[in-house]
Amino acid sequence: MRPVDPAAGVAGISASFRRAFADFSLDVSLALPGRGVTAIFGPSGSGKTSLLRSIAGLERAGSGYLSVNGEVWQDDAAGVFLPVHQRPLGYVFQEASLFAHLDVARNLDFGLRRVPLAQRRVPLEQAIELLGLQKLMQRMPGTLSGGERQRVAIARALATSPRLLLMDEPLASLDIARKAEILPYLERLHDELDMPVLYVSHAPDEVARLADHLVLLDAGRVTASGPTRELMTRLDLPLAHGDAAAAVIDAVISAVEPAWHMSHGEFSGGRISLLNPSLEVGQRVRVRIQARDVSLTLERQTGTSVQNIFAATVTALSADSPGQVMVGLDAGGSVLLARLTQKSAEALQLRPGSRVFAQVKGVAVLG
């Protein structure tokens, strides 16, 4: 896939909306990257869906401005408002919202045949293949599982070659098994299609896996917007707290030991060992390290089963849940998080600047 048009002026998405709803008001002003996945993250009721619907043009009131990679879709001050069906976007709703009277093939065709030939950039076969729908084409929506339906909905949106893909918690209505079924497809989407995606979520693990850029929303307002791994580890933000807090690092595989089912990767903080034999030397991987899997020692431990030990400097400490403290670490330029009890943090006399060793008990390759 090629970018829309390199000469199309300002790249990126500029969105600002101000609107009062019954129980809260949306007031956001965002500049987002024009490519990659941007996650919109926040608790329920924070306005994530309202923001997405405003961007799609499904909500209209108050004042708004929206331009996508140089094209103005809405500028209420200038009286510009493209109706939904004239915005070249794709929208995946929380529930698949397939047309019950059409089989899968005709659902996929619905949007596609309304897009002029010259604007088709995503071949339908690619969308079908990407989401594994080959065997479902003749089925009616009522006979599909929740995960299958959601995959059809995503392919249906992709088939219109949108210049902006909006996804409103596409996995929220699914159980864990179905989520696990779809997430790899979404990752392939991210890797293979060059199309900006706005992805609404309240699941930190989805955000960590999929998003390059992150917008934190609370009570209709933006509390932070920036690169995902930066925001995930900023101790002043809620994402860096609680059980799911994690850091994500990029590593390049440097050695594989099939006999041990291990791969080893290099990152700025040192060498990291992964229990994953299917990686190849030279491959770039995203690795998630959860704060609760990291412990700290003042001296490098020997005679330990822990393989991943990195020298690091404490950058900040912040109270977490009662009795626990979140420690921000700098390991050769990579940010890590460690969640300790307050008691052990005190025993080690941790302060910003303390030099420590981070012992990592578990890592997960995100793909």
Under the binding rule (CB under 8 A), the answer on residue 218 touching other proteins is: no
Q: Which stretch binds other proteins (CB under 8 A): 97-105, 172-180, 203-211, 231-239?
A: 97-105
One-letter identity of residue 40:
I
Provide the minimum distance between the beta carbon of 141 and other proteins in the complex, in angstroms, as a whole number.
4
Least distance between other proteins and beta carbon 168 (Å): 11
By the rule CB under 8 A, 199 interacts with other proteins: no
- Give the residue, chosen from 55, 56, 131, 289, that forms a contact with other proteins under the rule CB under 8 A: 56
Is residue 133 involved in binding other proteins (CB under 8 A)?
A: no
Compute CA distances 111 → 56, 88, 90, 99, 114, whole Å: 15, 11, 9, 11, 5
Is residue 164 involved in binding other proteins (CB under 8 A)? no
Q: Quick check: 41 binds other proteins (CB under 8 A)?
A: no
Closest CA to 46 of 186, 238, 235, 181: 238
Q: Which of 312, 304, 322, 320 is nearest to 348 (CA)?
A: 312
Q: How far is the CB of 154 from other proteins (least distance, A)?
A: 12
Q: Which of 30, 96, 253, 350 contacts other proteins by CB under 8 A? A: 96
Q: How far is the CB of 58 from other proteins (least distance, A)?
A: 6
CB of 158 to other proteins, least distance (A): 11
Please identify, among the stretches 39-47, 98-106, 242-250, 303-311, the one whose residues bind other proteins according to the rule CB under 8 A.
Answer: 98-106
Q: How far is the CB of 119 from other proteins (least distance, A)?
A: 10
Report CA torsion sign: 327, 241, 249, 361.
Answer: positive
What number of other Cβ atoms are within 10 A of residue 323's Cβ? Answer: 10
Number of residues that bind other proteins (CB under 8 A): 29
Name the token pair of 202.
């309240």
The pair of three-digit structure tokens given for residue 249, joined into one six-digit string: 């690092």
What single-letter DSSP state applies at residue 282? T
Burial of 290 (0-12, 13-18, 19+ CB in 10 A): buried
| 283 is an interface residue for other proteins by CB under 8 A | no
| Token reading at 287 | 């690795």
Q: Is 225 in the site for other proteins (CB under 8 A)?
A: no
Assess 114 for contact with other proteins (CB under 8 A). yes
The two tokens of residue 331 are 């390991």
| Residue (of 199, 162, 158) closest to 69 by Cα position | 162
Which of 17, 65, 73, 91 lies at the binding interface for other proteins (CB under 8 A)? 91
From the number of C-beta atoms within 10 Å of its C-beta (0-12, 13-18, 19+), residue 262 rates as: middle
For position 333 contacting other proteins by CB under 8 A, the verdict is no
Residues near other proteins (CB under 8 A): 56, 58, 83-86, 89-91, 93, 95-102, 110-111, 114-115, 141-142, 144, 149, 156-157, 160
